[in-house]
Amino acid sequence: MMLFGTCTPQAERELRWCDRLPREANTQFQKLNYSNYWFEVYQVQNNIYAIYEPYQWQEVISYLIIGDEFALLFDTGNGIGDIKEVVKEITSLPIRVLNSHSHYDHVGGNADFDFVYGMDTEFTQLRKQGLPHERVAEEVSPEALCKSLPENVIAEEHHIRPYEIDEYVSEGFTINLGNRLVEVIAIPGHTPDAIGLWDKENGLLWTGDTFYQGAIWLFAKETNLEDYKHSINRLAEMSKSLKHLLPAHNIPLVDPSLLVELDEALVQIENETVKGVDSTDGRVHFTFDHFTILMNKN
């Protein structure tokens, strides 16, 4: 989960984040005709499409990876727009879904697909049951939106539908797309079921919410800071062999060296060599050049 730049929800409302779209970094990508009222679609690599929700404050990015006999959809977004409709325009191949983690803004469209991979954790099992409207009402509030909801989406009825997991995955699980081999990397911390998706041959790493350029949320009750630090340290070591990161919010292609910056930033926070700023939401904001880290007060 995230917000535009390094701002909190209150700051976003004050700064009118909608008025600052599109992000300058995203202007390098051509918006494809698969785009519709709710989603913008960009081809960011050969057979890799970023399906972006720019008009909702999470700015979620799901990724469609086209294989020879099937396609892999890494995350399914907020469940506000119909992501399946977009995917069907891009490819007629069967779709398999894999989630970077089980937060609501990444599994919202899972129920529309016939095959879903998932981690076998208690958190995953709980979240696959869906969430009632009360838990996600803010996500369709006027403050959360840059435009009106898609046709036939009723704010008062928005919820996260339950879904089934068809095959469980774990560290080292590989998915052979024929033209591409991707490997699951367990990177718990943000959530217990957080994973990365690694395309070793092409130097690509999908990072989910473990890293993105923006305000990185590390304050949820399911977040484990020690696990997160370990995961970032691991990814920082991997970064030397990577060409691109593909995060789940804001910008679809970023420099892998930012993982090293994040690893160093976490050390500075731990050693108290950088000062955070307390906010009215009860959290501490640590601001760095390319991201902000949001934590609970000790």
CB–CB of 119/195 below 8 Å? yes
Q: Answer whether residue 11 shows pLDDT above 60.
A: no
Q: What is the pLDDT of residue 291?
A: 95
Q: What is the pLDDT of residue 16?
A: 63
Q: What is the pLDDT of residues 87-109, one digit of tens each?
A: 999 999 999 999 999 999 999 99
Q: Answer whether residue 4 shows pLDDT above 50.
A: no
Query: What does the mean pLDDT of the chain come to?
Result: 93
Q: What is the pLDDT of residue 12?
A: 43
Q: Which residues contact 216 (CB under 8 A, 6 or more apart)?
A: 2, 209, 262, 291, 292, 293, 294
Q: Tokens 């008025």 — which residue? A: 19
Q: Which domains does the chain have, with CATH numbers?
A: 9-296 (3.60.15.10)
User: pTM for this one?
Assistant: 0.94
Q: Which among 67, 88, 64 is positioned nearest to 76, based on CA atoms?
A: 64
Q: What is the pLDDT of residue 10?
A: 45
Q: What is the pLDDT of residues 251-295, one digit of tens each?
A: 999 999 999 999 999 999 999 999 999 988 889 999 999 999 999
Report d(CA 264, CA 194) in Å as an integer: 21
Q: What is the pLDDT of residues 111-162, one digit of tens each?
A: 999 999 999 999 999 999 999 999 999 999 999 999 999 999 999 999 999 9
Distances (CA, A) of 106 to 25, 58, 141, 157: 22, 10, 18, 19
Q: What is the pLDDT of residue 33?
A: 97
Q: Answer whether residue 5 shows pLDDT above 70.
A: no
DSSP letter string, 35-91 = --SS-EEEEEETTEEEEE-TTBTT-BEEEEEE-SS-EEEE----SSS-HHHHHHHH-
Q: What is the pLDDT of residue 14?
A: 46
Of all residues in the chain, the percent with pLDDT exceeding 70 is 95
Q: Which residues contact 292 (CB under 8 A, 6 or more apart)?
A: 5, 6, 214, 215, 216, 285, 286
Angle at 178 between CA 173 and CA 183, to 5 degrees: 20
- The dihedral sign for the CA sequence 158, 133, 169, 52: positive
